[in-house]
Amino acid sequence: MRLTKSTSHAIRILIDCARAPNQLVKVAELSERLEITQQNVFKIVNLLARAGLIEAVRGRKGGVRLARPAEAMRIGDVVRATEVTRVAIEEDAAAGPVREHGVNRVLDDALEAFIDVLDQHTIADMARRQAASGGRGKGGGTRAAVSAGGRARRSLHGSS
């Protein structure tokens, strides 16, 4: 499964907030430190706030912080908040109403298993790994891998 850049950015934002527990982190600081445009940071912060993962405080002295302890925030929660977590095989519209294929159930089971593995890891785990590796800036502890097609893609963690 390929996760979107938004999911990678969301995880990096949460890790950055986890490294500043109970403190408000300004969007401008996140943008600069993580090398993500402010527009994208605002968009992702909005998603994360709606999912109950962060709290956003408006105003001059505002910012964002984790809504709950990093130890209680699973990576699967982030994926559920930022990705489509329903898989379906597209059908020909002229063929009539969409019917459930056995393949759709298999794909849903595979996605569920994938997210179950992500649920075994927390934002706190990733923040500790990143701190141990000395990373904080761009990439935030992620590393690029090259797929069979030759295009670069990002893994969610540095040990792939």
Res 108: pLDDT: 84
Which pLDDT tens digit goes with each residue over 23-51? 999 999 999 999 999 999 999 999 999 99
Q: Which of 43, 23, 20 is nearest to 31 (CA)?
A: 43
Res 96: pLDDT: 55
Q: What is the DSSP letter of 74?
A: B
In CATH, the number for domain 5-82+121-154 is 1.10.10.10
Domain boundaries along the sequence of the chain: 5-82+121-154
pTM for the full predicted model:
0.75
Return the percentage of the chain with pLDDT > 90, whole number: 57
Place 148 in a pLDDT band, splitting at 50, 70 and 90: very low
